[in-house]
Chain A
Amino acid sequence: MMQRRFKLSKPQISKRKAMSFIAKTPGEQVFDIANVFIMAVLCLLTIYPFWYVTIMALNNGQDAATSPIWLWPRKFTLDNFIYVLQYKSLQQAYVVTILRCVIGAILSVFVNMLAAYALSKRFLPGRKAILYFFMMPMFIGGSIISYYVVLVKLGLRNNFLVYVLPGAFAFFTMVLMRTYMEGIPNEIEESAMLDGASYLSIFIRIILPLCKPVMAAFAFFAIVGGWLDLYTNLLFVTKRELFTLQYILYMVIKSSEARNLVDTAMNSELIKRMINERMKAELPTPEVIKMAVMVVVTFPLLFIYPFFQKYFVHGMMVGAIKA
């Protein structure tokens, strides 16, 4: 009531504006302009390589080999992508990779969430021992070769499970989930207990829905990890039907897989029709095929991640504050 009587004669200045009245030295003004410029250069340096790959992939192969392309496709064509998408190994790799990312993410989120919930109960007997059990491998690791031997002996060589089982549990992930869970008010669980709910139904009906942000963040990380992983395929998979996208890309870049790609793709119906319709069969060069494969393997993830940005930034912040 008291405030009403004294009306300010001048409009109140926002704090930000007030701060800006503290004089900026010329040095600081130069710095601000330079900073904006530096950020712009950074963005350019980041984006241009992807732009370059895209315009190469959209350019005719023979034409690209004659002289360099800088900013725009000189002789536009979708042929390279048509050949690449007709390639059976790539189609199979797409299925394998998407499957492993989705299954791996779901499995990993559940295994970690279950453990996090159980370990959030301080009264659980043996809790400390279990925590140490999980922590030890962080400090004493197995070497690459013992890991390799164990997994092969477990029968995971050329086995789809090798993509999803080893990564199903991660101590750090579990700890972050547990921290989040401990922030859930106890009254919710208590009232469910009073109604006679078991741990399982509390977990499914209460904890899971409330932990959606954290689950989304870690599911996203799991998907990204799965999409980018080359190591597992490199060590444990030699069957072509189980290759992941990164391994196909690796083969295309490092070996003559690009030529192989063109040769096999030519057997597809679509390509045969295409070649018949045009007078001459102008085959894509390996260089542009490599570019097209790179686009097809890399870009899907780049289109997804902005949608998840708010989740993983929040997830990292929780981690930062915990640390």
Chain B
Amino acid sequence: MITTKSVKVGKNRKLYSLYLFLLPSILVTLLFSYLPMFSNYIAFLNYKFSNGWMGLGSPFVGLKNFSFISKQWFWEIAGRTVLYSSTTLLFSFPAPLILALLLNEIKNKTYKRVVQTVSYIPHFISWVTVSGLFYLFLTVDSSGIVNNVLALMGFTDRVSFMQKPELFLPFLVLSQMWKEIGWGTILYLAALTTINPELYEAASIDGASRMKRVWHITLPSLLPTTSILLIFSLGHLFGSNFDQVFNMQNSVIRQYTDTIDIFNYYNGVQNQQYSLSAAVGLFQGLITFVLIMVTNHVTKRVSDTGII
């Protein structure tokens, strides 16, 4: 709680030490956030790495690098990026919420805590590990558990799961859900504790079933938290989880499963096509900015909460 008195604590001290406190963070932000922001300028140049900072010395070529907007290959990748992120969002956004609601109904406190602790485990492993586990279980070799189970059930052919491009999206969704469903419940469960239990009691006395209580009390109380999380997620629709896609891919399906971020990595960092990747990245950043603004505006209209 901040009283008017508190804001003046120490007002008469020498202020320069406070600015010194801010120096490290300002430096870091300048170097690692603003400098890259301005370096996006290389999207408008024919950039050669050996030339100077921020493209000094590279010829200005205007919008030439943006010609990818008219090319089909780009929209194939862009469309795939949006497909991946929207499908993943569709399934893995409600999942932690539902799990939180279910966890909330567990009566035994110890059981609830054990389940929670276990559910957090996949959050503390990297996508390298997760994709390693997926490949391990789905491998076509004799040790692949899924194939062995299928064999026990009578299927004769062993399926090479990870080499089928059409299965990539389901695996993305499944792996995302497995990894983050537990961790995602934390925010919701925290919000659930702020709900006044008297509301539930009054509803029970009035004869509301559990479903009705959830629908009329729990969900509306969770609306602010949900809205903010939704804004963040929708705003990044034009992007993807680099770590996840990068690790789940393999050389066989790469050409069918690239997203914009993956493309920028392979083209920009590995193949050194800096200008093109910068242009694509800038375009992506622009669309993301618009998306964030739009979703924030719409959410504000619908539920009175927004981040700006």
Tell whether A and B belong to one assembly.
Answer: yes
Q: Which residues of A contact B (CB under 8 A)?
A: 19, 22, 25, 27-28, 31-32, 35-36, 38-39, 42-43, 45-47, 49-50, 52-53, 56, 64-70, 110-112, 114-115, 117-119, 121-125, 130, 133-134, 137, 139-151, 153-154, 165-166, 168-169, 174, 182-183, 186, 189-190, 193, 198-200, 202-203, 224, 227-231, 235, 246, 249-250, 253, 287, 290-291, 294, 297-298, 301-302, 305-306, 309, 313, 316-317, 319-321, 323
B136 to chain A, nearest CB (A): 7
Sorted from nearest, which 7 A-B pairs have the closest CB atoms?
A143-B281, A142-B36, A137-B33, A122-B7, A145-B268, A115-B25, A146-B39
CB-contacts of B68-110 with A (<8 A): 99, 102-103, 105-107
A43 and B115 contact, Cβ closer than 8 Å, known pairs A50-B121, A168-B28, A294-B129:
yes
B255 interface residue per 8 A CB criterion: no
- What's the Cα separation between A169 and B137 when bound, in Å? 39
- What's the Cα separation between A302 and B265 when bound, in Å? 30
A186 and B5 contact, Cβ closer than 8 Å, known pairs A146-B42, A224-B124:
yes
Is the CB–CB distance between B128 and A169 below 8 Å?
A: no
Is the CB–CB distance between B145 and A68 below 8 Å?
A: yes
Is the CB–CB distance between A290 and B132 below 8 Å?
A: yes
| Chain A residues, CB < 8 A from B35 | 142, 150
Is the CB–CB distance between A140 and B2 below 8 Å?
A: no
B300 to chain A, nearest CB (A): 15
Q: Which residues of B contact A (CB under 8 A)?
A: 1-3, 5-11, 13-15, 17-19, 21-22, 24-26, 28-29, 31-37, 39-40, 42, 49, 53, 99, 102-103, 105-107, 111, 114-115, 117-122, 124-129, 131-133, 135-137, 141-145, 148, 178, 182, 186-187, 190-191, 193-194, 201, 204-205, 209-210, 224-225, 228, 242-243, 247, 261, 264-265, 268-269, 274, 277-278, 280-282, 284-285, 288-289, 292
CB closest residue in chain B, given A121? B18
Indicate which residue in A36, A50, A139, A182 contacts B111 across the interface (CB closer than 8 Å).
Answer: A36
Indicate which residue in B24, B137, B142, B269 contacts A145 across the interface (CB closer than 8 Å).
Answer: B269
Is the CB–CB distance between A145 and B186 below 8 Å?
A: no
Is the CB–CB distance between B242 and A166 below 8 Å?
A: no
CB closest residue in chain A, given B12? A193
Is the CB–CB distance between B53 and A153 below 8 Å?
A: yes
| Chain A residues, CB < 8 A from B282 | 143
A111 and B24 contact, Cβ closer than 8 Å, known pairs A142-B33, A154-B31:
yes
Is the CB–CB distance between B121 and A47 below 8 Å?
A: yes
| Chain A residues, CB < 8 A from B42 | 145-146, 149
Is the CB–CB distance between B126 and A228 below 8 Å?
A: yes
Indicate which residue in B11, B119, B194, B205 contacts A46 across the interface (CB closer than 8 Å).
Answer: B119
